[in-house]
Amino acid sequence: MQRSLLTLLLPLFLCTSVRAQLPGEWFAILDAMGTELPLGIQLDEQDGAITGSLVSPGQSEARFDFTTSSFDGQRLQFTLNDLGASFSGVLDGKELRGVFNQARVDFPLTFYRYRPQGYPVSDGPVTITQRSQQPTDFPYEREAVTFPGGAAGVTLAGELTLPTKGKPRAAIILVSGSGPQDRNSYLGSQINHSPFLVLSDYLTREGYAVLRYDDRGVGESTGDHNGATTRDFGADAGAAVDYLKQRKDFRKIAIGMAGHSEGGLIAPIVAAENEDLDFVILLAAPGVPIDSLMLEQRRQVGTATGMPAQLIARDEPGLRSAYTFIKESPALDQDRYVDGLYALFEKRMDNLPTALRNSIKDPRAFNAQYVVPLSNPWLRSFLAMDPTPYLEKLTIPTLAINGLKDTQVAAESNLNGISIAMAKNGNKDATVLPLPGLNHLFQPADTGAPNEYGTIETTFDPLALEMIGNWLNERF
Protein backbone atom coordinates (compact mmCIF):
# COMPACT_ATOMS: atom_id res chain seq x y z
CA MET A 1 0.00 0.00 0.00
CA GLN A 2 2.95 2.27 0.40
CA ARG A 3 3.59 4.82 -2.34
CA SER A 4 7.19 5.64 -3.17
CA LEU A 5 8.01 9.31 -3.70
CA LEU A 6 11.11 8.61 -5.74
CA THR A 7 9.49 10.54 -8.57
CA LEU A 8 10.09 13.75 -6.63
CA LEU A 9 13.82 13.25 -7.07
CA LEU A 10 13.58 13.19 -10.84
CA PRO A 11 14.41 16.41 -12.70
CA LEU A 12 11.61 17.83 -14.80
CA PHE A 13 12.45 18.94 -18.31
CA LEU A 14 10.42 20.95 -20.78
CA CYS A 15 11.96 20.29 -24.18
CA THR A 16 10.94 21.46 -27.60
CA SER A 17 9.20 18.82 -29.68
CA VAL A 18 9.41 16.33 -26.86
CA ARG A 19 6.18 14.68 -28.01
CA ALA A 20 7.94 13.74 -31.20
CA GLN A 21 10.62 11.98 -29.15
CA LEU A 22 8.14 9.72 -27.39
CA PRO A 23 6.49 7.37 -29.97
CA GLY A 24 8.23 4.11 -30.76
CA GLU A 25 9.72 1.24 -28.78
CA TRP A 26 11.22 1.51 -25.31
CA PHE A 27 13.01 -1.19 -23.32
CA ALA A 28 13.74 -1.81 -19.65
CA ILE A 29 14.92 -4.43 -17.16
CA LEU A 30 12.80 -4.49 -14.01
CA ASP A 31 14.71 -5.52 -10.89
CA ALA A 32 11.79 -7.38 -9.34
CA MET A 33 13.21 -8.16 -5.91
CA GLY A 34 16.14 -10.15 -7.25
CA THR A 35 14.53 -11.37 -10.49
CA GLU A 36 15.36 -9.42 -13.67
CA LEU A 37 12.28 -9.08 -15.87
CA PRO A 38 12.55 -7.51 -19.34
CA LEU A 39 9.72 -5.09 -20.14
CA GLY A 40 9.00 -3.37 -23.42
CA ILE A 41 6.50 -0.67 -24.33
CA GLN A 42 5.29 0.50 -27.73
CA LEU A 43 4.11 4.12 -27.70
CA ASP A 44 2.00 5.65 -30.46
CA GLU A 45 0.47 9.06 -31.05
CA GLN A 46 -3.08 9.30 -32.37
CA ASP A 47 -4.85 12.63 -32.80
CA GLY A 48 -2.46 14.25 -30.33
CA ALA A 49 -2.98 11.57 -27.66
CA ILE A 50 -0.45 8.97 -26.54
CA THR A 51 -1.51 5.31 -26.55
CA GLY A 52 0.53 2.19 -26.10
CA SER A 53 1.01 -1.37 -24.92
CA LEU A 54 3.39 -3.40 -22.74
CA VAL A 55 5.04 -6.76 -23.22
CA SER A 56 7.05 -8.90 -20.79
CA PRO A 57 9.00 -11.16 -23.16
CA GLY A 58 10.55 -13.14 -20.35
CA GLN A 59 7.11 -14.30 -19.24
CA SER A 60 4.95 -14.53 -22.39
CA GLU A 61 4.42 -13.16 -25.87
CA ALA A 62 1.16 -11.48 -24.85
CA ARG A 63 0.93 -7.72 -25.34
CA PHE A 64 -1.24 -5.68 -22.98
CA ASP A 65 -2.83 -2.43 -24.13
CA PHE A 66 -2.69 0.53 -21.75
CA THR A 67 -6.01 1.11 -19.97
CA THR A 68 -5.24 4.84 -19.64
CA SER A 69 -2.25 6.88 -20.75
CA SER A 70 -1.20 10.53 -20.77
CA PHE A 71 1.80 12.68 -21.61
CA ASP A 72 2.00 16.37 -20.70
CA GLY A 73 5.31 17.12 -22.35
CA GLN A 74 7.22 16.06 -19.25
CA ARG A 75 5.61 13.09 -17.57
CA LEU A 76 4.33 9.86 -19.10
CA GLN A 77 1.74 7.95 -17.11
CA PHE A 78 -0.08 4.75 -18.01
CA THR A 79 -2.15 2.10 -16.27
CA LEU A 80 -2.73 -1.58 -17.05
CA ASN A 81 -5.86 -2.71 -15.26
CA ASP A 82 -5.46 -6.32 -16.49
CA LEU A 83 -2.14 -6.51 -14.64
CA GLY A 84 -2.99 -4.26 -11.70
CA ALA A 85 -0.03 -2.14 -12.74
CA SER A 86 0.90 1.46 -13.55
CA PHE A 87 3.91 3.57 -14.51
CA SER A 88 4.73 7.23 -13.92
CA GLY A 89 7.96 8.62 -15.32
CA VAL A 90 9.72 11.65 -16.73
CA LEU A 91 11.19 11.92 -20.23
CA ASP A 92 14.87 12.81 -19.90
CA GLY A 93 16.37 12.88 -23.38
CA LYS A 94 16.46 9.24 -24.46
CA GLU A 95 15.34 7.83 -21.13
CA LEU A 96 11.99 7.46 -19.38
CA ARG A 97 12.80 7.38 -15.67
CA GLY A 98 10.16 6.72 -13.03
CA VAL A 99 8.32 4.17 -10.91
CA PHE A 100 6.49 1.01 -11.97
CA ASN A 101 3.79 -0.11 -9.53
CA GLN A 102 2.20 -3.55 -9.39
CA ALA A 103 0.13 -5.07 -6.59
CA ARG A 104 0.70 -1.80 -4.70
CA VAL A 105 4.48 -2.30 -4.61
CA ASP A 106 6.76 0.33 -6.23
CA PHE A 107 9.83 -0.46 -8.33
CA PRO A 108 12.21 2.18 -9.77
CA LEU A 109 12.31 1.64 -13.55
CA THR A 110 14.04 3.26 -16.52
CA PHE A 111 13.02 2.67 -20.15
CA TYR A 112 15.64 3.15 -22.87
CA ARG A 113 15.55 3.50 -26.65
CA TYR A 114 18.10 0.70 -26.89
CA ARG A 115 17.86 -2.84 -25.56
CA PRO A 116 19.78 -2.94 -22.24
CA GLN A 117 21.95 -5.92 -21.35
CA GLY A 118 19.73 -8.92 -20.70
CA TYR A 119 17.01 -7.84 -23.13
CA PRO A 120 15.51 -9.73 -24.90
CA VAL A 121 15.58 -13.10 -23.16
CA SER A 122 16.90 -15.47 -25.79
CA ASP A 123 16.42 -18.66 -23.78
CA GLY A 124 12.68 -18.37 -23.30
CA PRO A 125 10.59 -17.28 -20.32
CA VAL A 126 12.06 -16.45 -16.94
CA THR A 127 12.20 -19.60 -14.83
CA ILE A 128 10.30 -19.28 -11.56
CA THR A 129 11.72 -21.85 -9.17
CA GLN A 130 9.53 -23.62 -6.63
CA ARG A 131 10.12 -22.49 -3.08
CA SER A 132 11.34 -25.10 -0.63
CA GLN A 133 8.26 -24.90 1.62
CA GLN A 134 5.75 -25.24 -1.20
CA PRO A 135 4.00 -28.61 -0.71
CA THR A 136 4.54 -31.32 -3.31
CA ASP A 137 2.35 -34.01 -1.75
CA PHE A 138 -1.07 -33.64 -0.20
CA PRO A 139 -1.92 -36.37 2.35
CA TYR A 140 -5.44 -35.03 2.84
CA GLU A 141 -8.65 -34.37 0.95
CA ARG A 142 -8.82 -31.43 -1.46
CA GLU A 143 -12.23 -30.23 -2.61
CA ALA A 144 -12.79 -27.54 -5.23
CA VAL A 145 -15.65 -25.33 -4.02
CA THR A 146 -17.71 -22.38 -5.20
CA PHE A 147 -20.17 -20.34 -3.16
CA PRO A 148 -22.09 -17.04 -3.44
CA GLY A 149 -20.01 -14.00 -2.50
CA GLY A 150 -21.03 -10.94 -0.58
CA ALA A 151 -22.79 -9.17 -3.46
CA ALA A 152 -24.99 -10.00 -6.44
CA GLY A 153 -22.93 -11.29 -9.34
CA VAL A 154 -20.04 -12.41 -7.13
CA THR A 155 -19.25 -16.11 -6.99
CA LEU A 156 -16.18 -17.10 -5.01
CA ALA A 157 -14.10 -20.11 -6.02
CA GLY A 158 -11.50 -21.83 -3.91
CA GLU A 159 -10.34 -25.01 -2.25
CA LEU A 160 -11.39 -26.72 0.96
CA THR A 161 -8.82 -29.07 2.46
CA LEU A 162 -9.79 -31.63 5.09
CA PRO A 163 -8.01 -34.33 7.07
CA THR A 164 -8.53 -37.76 5.53
CA LYS A 165 -9.60 -39.48 8.74
CA GLY A 166 -12.19 -38.28 11.21
CA LYS A 167 -13.82 -34.92 11.66
CA PRO A 168 -11.72 -31.76 11.49
CA ARG A 169 -10.66 -30.36 14.86
CA ALA A 170 -12.00 -26.99 13.63
CA ALA A 171 -12.40 -25.10 10.35
CA ILE A 172 -10.38 -22.02 9.40
CA ILE A 173 -11.14 -19.49 6.67
CA LEU A 174 -8.09 -17.64 5.29
CA VAL A 175 -8.59 -13.98 4.31
CA SER A 176 -5.88 -12.28 2.27
CA GLY A 177 -4.37 -8.82 2.51
CA SER A 178 -4.50 -5.86 0.13
CA GLY A 179 -4.33 -6.23 -3.61
CA PRO A 180 -5.74 -8.89 -5.94
CA GLN A 181 -4.73 -12.28 -4.57
CA ASP A 182 -5.66 -15.83 -5.43
CA ARG A 183 -6.47 -18.61 -2.97
CA ASN A 184 -2.77 -19.29 -2.35
CA SER A 185 -2.05 -15.60 -1.72
CA TYR A 186 0.52 -15.91 -4.53
CA LEU A 187 2.42 -12.64 -4.54
CA GLY A 188 3.51 -12.60 -8.18
CA SER A 189 6.69 -13.62 -9.95
CA GLN A 190 8.60 -10.71 -8.37
CA ILE A 191 8.19 -12.27 -4.92
CA ASN A 192 7.29 -15.86 -5.87
CA HIS A 193 5.80 -16.96 -2.56
CA SER A 194 2.39 -18.51 -1.75
CA PRO A 195 1.94 -17.97 2.02
CA PHE A 196 -1.64 -19.24 2.21
CA LEU A 197 -0.76 -22.48 0.40
CA VAL A 198 1.98 -23.14 2.96
CA LEU A 199 -0.21 -22.13 5.93
CA SER A 200 -3.16 -24.19 4.67
CA ASP A 201 -0.98 -27.25 4.12
CA TYR A 202 0.47 -27.00 7.64
CA LEU A 203 -2.92 -26.57 9.34
CA THR A 204 -4.59 -29.36 7.38
CA ARG A 205 -1.79 -31.76 8.32
CA GLU A 206 -2.50 -30.74 11.93
CA GLY A 207 -6.11 -31.94 11.54
CA TYR A 208 -7.94 -28.73 10.60
CA ALA A 209 -10.21 -27.98 7.68
CA VAL A 210 -9.05 -24.91 5.77
CA LEU A 211 -11.02 -22.85 3.25
CA ARG A 212 -9.09 -20.47 1.04
CA TYR A 213 -10.55 -18.69 -1.97
CA ASP A 214 -9.68 -16.37 -4.83
CA ASP A 215 -10.53 -12.72 -4.18
CA ARG A 216 -13.52 -11.46 -6.13
CA GLY A 217 -12.45 -10.75 -9.72
CA VAL A 218 -9.31 -12.89 -9.33
CA GLY A 219 -8.63 -16.40 -10.63
CA GLU A 220 -11.88 -18.36 -10.85
CA SER A 221 -13.92 -15.93 -8.74
CA THR A 222 -16.26 -13.50 -10.46
CA GLY A 223 -16.93 -9.85 -9.67
CA ASP A 224 -14.99 -6.60 -9.87
CA HIS A 225 -11.91 -6.38 -7.68
CA ASN A 226 -10.86 -2.88 -8.79
CA GLY A 227 -14.06 -1.23 -7.59
CA ALA A 228 -14.35 -3.12 -4.30
CA THR A 229 -13.62 -1.75 -0.82
CA THR A 230 -12.62 -3.39 2.45
CA ARG A 231 -16.30 -3.58 3.33
CA ASP A 232 -16.96 -5.53 0.11
CA PHE A 233 -14.14 -7.96 0.88
CA GLY A 234 -15.56 -8.28 4.38
CA ALA A 235 -18.93 -9.25 2.90
CA ASP A 236 -17.17 -11.94 0.87
CA ALA A 237 -15.42 -13.28 4.00
CA GLY A 238 -18.78 -13.33 5.79
CA ALA A 239 -20.22 -15.29 2.87
CA ALA A 240 -17.46 -17.87 3.37
CA VAL A 241 -18.61 -18.31 6.97
CA ASP A 242 -22.18 -18.74 5.80
CA TYR A 243 -21.08 -21.34 3.26
CA LEU A 244 -19.37 -23.52 5.87
CA LYS A 245 -22.26 -23.14 8.33
CA GLN A 246 -24.77 -24.44 5.80
CA ARG A 247 -22.77 -27.59 5.08
CA LYS A 248 -24.07 -30.58 7.02
CA ASP A 249 -20.57 -31.99 7.50
CA PHE A 250 -19.57 -28.87 9.47
CA ARG A 251 -22.29 -29.02 12.07
CA LYS A 252 -20.90 -28.80 15.60
CA ILE A 253 -17.45 -27.89 14.24
CA ALA A 254 -15.91 -24.62 15.42
CA ILE A 255 -15.33 -22.11 12.62
CA GLY A 256 -12.65 -19.46 12.79
CA MET A 257 -10.99 -16.93 10.53
CA ALA A 258 -7.31 -16.13 9.98
CA GLY A 259 -6.71 -12.79 8.28
CA HIS A 260 -3.40 -11.38 7.10
CA SER A 261 -2.75 -7.61 6.94
CA GLU A 262 -5.99 -6.08 5.58
CA GLY A 263 -7.51 -9.52 6.14
CA GLY A 264 -6.65 -8.97 9.81
CA LEU A 265 -8.92 -5.93 9.73
CA ILE A 266 -11.65 -7.87 7.95
CA ALA A 267 -11.70 -10.74 10.47
CA PRO A 268 -12.74 -8.55 13.47
CA ILE A 269 -15.34 -6.80 11.28
CA VAL A 270 -16.87 -10.16 10.37
CA ALA A 271 -16.68 -11.37 13.97
CA ALA A 272 -18.41 -8.22 15.22
CA GLU A 273 -21.26 -8.75 12.78
CA ASN A 274 -21.49 -12.55 12.65
CA GLU A 275 -22.03 -14.62 15.78
CA ASP A 276 -21.12 -17.81 13.91
CA LEU A 277 -17.37 -17.17 14.22
CA ASP A 278 -15.79 -19.04 17.14
CA PHE A 279 -12.21 -17.67 17.03
CA VAL A 280 -9.93 -15.37 15.04
CA ILE A 281 -6.23 -15.33 14.19
CA LEU A 282 -4.80 -11.91 13.34
CA LEU A 283 -1.63 -12.07 11.24
CA ALA A 284 0.16 -8.71 10.99
CA ALA A 285 -3.20 -7.05 11.53
CA PRO A 286 -3.96 -3.34 11.99
CA GLY A 287 -4.46 -2.25 15.61
CA VAL A 288 -4.47 1.52 15.10
CA PRO A 289 -6.43 3.86 12.78
CA ILE A 290 -5.43 3.17 9.19
CA ASP A 291 -4.30 6.71 8.42
CA SER A 292 -1.80 6.51 11.30
CA LEU A 293 -0.72 3.04 10.17
CA MET A 294 -0.09 4.28 6.62
CA LEU A 295 2.04 7.21 7.77
CA GLU A 296 4.11 4.91 9.96
CA GLN A 297 4.37 2.42 7.11
CA ARG A 298 5.71 5.12 4.83
CA ARG A 299 8.36 6.10 7.38
CA GLN A 300 9.48 2.53 8.02
CA VAL A 301 9.48 1.33 4.43
CA GLY A 302 11.17 4.52 3.28
CA THR A 303 13.90 4.18 5.88
CA ALA A 304 14.41 0.47 5.16
CA THR A 305 14.71 1.09 1.40
CA GLY A 306 17.05 4.06 1.73
CA MET A 307 14.66 6.93 1.03
CA PRO A 308 16.27 10.18 2.20
CA ALA A 309 14.99 11.26 5.60
CA GLN A 310 14.32 14.79 4.32
CA LEU A 311 11.97 13.37 1.67
CA ILE A 312 10.07 11.34 4.25
CA ALA A 313 9.70 14.34 6.53
CA ARG A 314 8.99 16.87 3.78
CA ASP A 315 5.92 15.17 2.35
CA GLU A 316 4.34 13.84 5.54
CA PRO A 317 2.45 17.05 6.44
CA GLY A 318 0.76 17.07 3.03
CA LEU A 319 -0.20 13.42 3.30
CA ARG A 320 -1.41 13.91 6.87
CA SER A 321 -3.65 16.76 5.69
CA ALA A 322 -4.93 14.63 2.83
CA TYR A 323 -5.77 11.75 5.16
CA THR A 324 -7.66 14.12 7.45
CA PHE A 325 -9.58 15.46 4.45
CA ILE A 326 -10.43 11.90 3.41
CA LYS A 327 -11.74 10.95 6.84
CA GLU A 328 -13.83 14.13 7.05
CA SER A 329 -15.29 13.87 3.52
CA PRO A 330 -17.09 10.53 3.21
CA ALA A 331 -20.17 12.09 1.63
CA LEU A 332 -18.40 14.00 -1.15
CA ASP A 333 -19.11 12.76 -4.68
CA GLN A 334 -16.03 11.59 -6.57
CA ASP A 335 -15.55 14.73 -8.68
CA ARG A 336 -15.68 17.10 -5.69
CA TYR A 337 -13.49 14.74 -3.71
CA VAL A 338 -10.78 14.70 -6.41
CA ASP A 339 -10.95 18.47 -6.84
CA GLY A 340 -10.58 18.87 -3.08
CA LEU A 341 -7.45 16.72 -3.06
CA TYR A 342 -5.89 18.69 -5.91
CA ALA A 343 -6.62 21.95 -4.12
CA LEU A 344 -5.07 20.62 -0.92
CA PHE A 345 -1.83 19.49 -2.56
CA GLU A 346 -1.53 22.65 -4.68
CA LYS A 347 -1.76 24.69 -1.50
CA ARG A 348 0.98 22.57 0.06
CA MET A 349 3.32 23.31 -2.86
CA ASP A 350 4.34 26.57 -1.17
CA ASN A 351 6.25 24.40 1.31
CA LEU A 352 8.33 22.60 -1.33
CA PRO A 353 12.02 23.46 -1.80
CA THR A 354 12.40 26.46 -4.08
CA ALA A 355 14.36 24.62 -6.79
CA LEU A 356 11.78 21.85 -7.01
CA ARG A 357 8.86 24.27 -6.93
CA ASN A 358 10.34 26.36 -9.75
CA SER A 359 10.88 23.28 -11.91
CA ILE A 360 7.20 22.32 -11.83
CA LYS A 361 5.56 23.55 -15.02
CA ASP A 362 2.20 21.85 -14.50
CA PRO A 363 1.14 21.69 -10.82
CA ARG A 364 -1.83 19.45 -11.56
CA ALA A 365 0.36 16.90 -13.36
CA PHE A 366 2.86 17.04 -10.51
CA ASN A 367 0.20 16.52 -7.83
CA ALA A 368 -1.42 13.70 -9.78
CA GLN A 369 1.18 11.35 -8.26
CA TYR A 370 -0.57 11.89 -4.92
CA VAL A 371 -4.16 12.44 -6.01
CA VAL A 372 -4.55 9.56 -8.47
CA PRO A 373 -3.73 6.82 -5.92
CA LEU A 374 -5.84 8.53 -3.24
CA SER A 375 -8.77 8.69 -5.67
CA ASN A 376 -9.00 4.91 -5.75
CA PRO A 377 -12.31 3.87 -4.10
CA TRP A 378 -10.61 1.13 -2.09
CA LEU A 379 -7.87 3.40 -0.72
CA ARG A 380 -10.32 6.23 -0.01
CA SER A 381 -12.44 3.87 2.08
CA PHE A 382 -9.47 2.07 3.65
CA LEU A 383 -7.76 5.24 4.90
CA ALA A 384 -10.90 6.29 6.76
CA MET A 385 -11.18 3.03 8.72
CA ASP A 386 -10.32 2.37 12.35
CA PRO A 387 -10.07 -1.25 13.57
CA THR A 388 -10.49 -0.29 17.23
CA PRO A 389 -14.31 -0.46 17.49
CA TYR A 390 -14.30 -3.95 15.97
CA LEU A 391 -11.39 -5.20 18.06
CA GLU A 392 -13.19 -3.99 21.19
CA LYS A 393 -16.09 -6.30 20.32
CA LEU A 394 -13.86 -9.39 20.07
CA THR A 395 -14.74 -11.62 23.00
CA ILE A 396 -14.01 -14.93 21.24
CA PRO A 397 -10.56 -16.60 21.46
CA THR A 398 -8.09 -14.36 19.64
CA LEU A 399 -4.48 -14.85 18.59
CA ALA A 400 -2.57 -11.82 17.25
CA ILE A 401 1.02 -12.18 16.03
CA ASN A 402 3.33 -9.89 14.13
CA GLY A 403 7.01 -9.82 13.17
CA LEU A 404 9.17 -7.19 14.81
CA LYS A 405 10.79 -6.45 11.43
CA ASP A 406 7.44 -5.74 9.78
CA THR A 407 7.77 -2.37 8.01
CA GLN A 408 4.25 -2.39 6.55
CA VAL A 409 2.23 -2.99 9.71
CA ALA A 410 4.58 -2.00 12.53
CA ALA A 411 4.45 -4.65 15.23
CA GLU A 412 4.88 -2.51 18.34
CA SER A 413 2.17 0.08 17.70
CA ASN A 414 -0.36 -2.30 16.17
CA LEU A 415 0.05 -5.14 18.68
CA ASN A 416 -0.21 -2.56 21.46
CA GLY A 417 -3.44 -1.31 19.93
CA ILE A 418 -4.82 -4.85 19.81
CA SER A 419 -3.72 -5.50 23.41
CA ILE A 420 -5.45 -2.35 24.64
CA ALA A 421 -8.66 -3.30 22.84
CA MET A 422 -8.55 -6.83 24.31
CA ALA A 423 -8.07 -5.40 27.81
CA LYS A 424 -10.90 -2.95 27.34
CA ASN A 425 -13.39 -5.60 26.25
CA GLY A 426 -12.28 -8.06 28.91
CA ASN A 427 -11.41 -10.81 26.44
CA LYS A 428 -10.27 -13.66 28.68
CA ASP A 429 -8.68 -15.67 25.86
CA ALA A 430 -6.54 -13.20 23.93
CA THR A 431 -2.92 -13.95 23.04
CA VAL A 432 -0.80 -11.14 21.57
CA LEU A 433 2.75 -12.07 20.54
CA PRO A 434 5.58 -10.17 18.81
CA LEU A 435 7.91 -12.43 16.81
CA PRO A 436 11.56 -11.31 16.67
CA GLY A 437 13.31 -11.25 13.30
CA LEU A 438 10.23 -11.73 11.10
CA ASN A 439 8.83 -9.40 8.44
CA HIS A 440 5.30 -8.68 7.21
CA LEU A 441 5.09 -12.07 5.51
CA PHE A 442 6.48 -13.88 8.57
CA GLN A 443 9.79 -14.54 6.85
CA PRO A 444 13.14 -14.31 8.66
CA ALA A 445 14.40 -10.94 7.44
CA ASP A 446 17.37 -8.60 7.52
CA THR A 447 15.71 -5.21 6.94
CA GLY A 448 12.01 -6.06 6.68
CA ALA A 449 11.70 -3.95 3.52
CA PRO A 450 9.23 -5.17 0.87
CA ASN A 451 11.99 -5.36 -1.75
CA GLU A 452 13.56 -8.11 0.37
CA TYR A 453 10.57 -10.49 0.25
CA GLY A 454 11.52 -12.17 -3.02
CA THR A 455 15.14 -12.69 -1.99
CA ILE A 456 14.20 -14.84 1.04
CA GLU A 457 13.77 -18.56 0.44
CA THR A 458 11.48 -19.17 3.44
CA THR A 459 7.80 -18.58 2.68
CA PHE A 460 6.45 -18.76 6.26
CA ASP A 461 8.74 -19.19 9.25
CA PRO A 462 8.30 -22.75 10.66
CA LEU A 463 8.34 -21.51 14.26
CA ALA A 464 5.54 -19.06 13.46
CA LEU A 465 3.54 -21.90 11.89
CA GLU A 466 4.16 -24.02 14.99
CA MET A 467 3.04 -21.18 17.23
CA ILE A 468 -0.27 -20.93 15.37
CA GLY A 469 -0.69 -24.71 15.48
CA ASN A 470 0.05 -24.92 19.20
CA TRP A 471 -2.43 -22.15 19.98
CA LEU A 472 -5.13 -23.97 18.04
CA ASN A 473 -4.29 -27.39 19.48
CA GLU A 474 -4.62 -26.05 23.04
CA ARG A 475 -8.23 -25.10 22.25
CA PHE A 476 -9.39 -27.76 19.83
In tens, the pLDDT along 445-467 reads 999 998 889 889 999 999 999 99
Mean pLDDT calculated for residue range 132-136: 95
Q: Is the pLDDT of residue 12 over 60?
A: no
Could you tell me where in the chain the CATH 3.40.50.1820 domains are found? 141-288+386-473
Where does 1-124 sit in CATH, by number? Answer: 2.40.128.120
**Topology classification of domain 141-288+386-473:** Rossmann fold (3.40.50)
pLDDT tens, residue by residue, 236-291? 999 999 999 999 999 999 999 999 999 999 999 999 999 999 999 999 999 999 99
What does the pLDDT read at residue 263? 98
Mean pLDDT calculated for residue range 361-386: 89
Mean pLDDT calculated for residue range 161-190: 93
Mean pLDDT calculated for residue range 203-226: 96
Q: Is the pLDDT of residue 49 over 90?
A: no
Could you tell me where in the chain the CATH 2.40.128.120 domains are found? 1-124
- pTM above the 0.85 mark? no
Give the pLDDT band (50/70/90) at residue 126.
low
> What's the chain look like in SS3?
CCCCCHHHHCCCCCCCCHHHHCCEEEEEEEEECCEEEEEEEEEEEECCEEEEEEECCCCCCCEEECCEEEECCCEEEEEECCCCEEEEEEEECCEEEEEEEECCEEEEEEEECCCCCCCCCCCCCCCCCCCCCCCCCCCCEEEEEEEECCCCCCEEEEEEEECCCCCCCCEEEEECCCCCCCCCCCCCCCCCCCHHHHHHHHHHHCCCEEEEECCCCCCCCCCCCCCCCHHHHHHHHHHHHHHHHHCHHHCCCCEEEEEECHHHHHHHHHHHHCCCCCEEEEECCCCCCHHHHHHHHHHHHHHHCCCCHHHHHHHHHHHHHHHHHHHHCCCCCHHHHHHHHHHHHHHHHHHCCHHHHHHCCCHHHHHHHHHHHHCCHHHHHHHCCCCHHHHCCCCCCEEEEEECCCCCCCHHHHHHHHHHHHHHHCCCCEEEEEECCECCCCCECCCCCHHHHHHCCCCCCHHHHHHHHHHHHCCC
